[in-house]
Amino acid sequence: MAKQAKTAIKTKDAQASAESKNWTRVIRAVRSPKTGAYTFKEAIVHKEKVKQYLSGK
């Protein structure tokens, strides 16, 4: 029975799962001007705008 419930969940949200594949987690290293240490900034960006995000615009 558990397999049937799992399958039902997959087919119900097929469109939502297809749309979620268009998003990417981007991790960017940013250098602090005060200390010179690196920190990491995370963002979830649409896959078509990754290069724009990484370029800093």
**Alpha helix segments (H runs only) across 1-57:** 2-12, 14-20, 50-55
pLDDT confidence of residue 29: 92
What is the phi-psi region of residue 41: left when phi exceeds 0, alpha when psi lies from -120 to 50, beta otherwise? beta
| Residue 38 belongs to some domain of the structure | yes
pLDDT confidence of residue 18: 76
23 closest CA partner among 41, 52, 43: 43
SS3 35: coil
24 closest CA partner among 42, 44, 40, 49: 44
Residue 33, domain extent: 20-57
Work out how many domains the chain is built from and give that number: 1
More confident residue, 32 or 4: 32
| Residue 40 belongs to some domain of the structure | yes
Amino acid at 8: A
pLDDT confidence of residue 19: 79
Q: Per-residue pLDDT tens for 16-45?
A: 777 788 999 999 999 999 999 999 999 999
pLDDT confidence of residue 17: 73
| Residue 56 belongs to some domain of the structure | yes
Q: Is the pLDDT of residue 7 over 60?
A: no
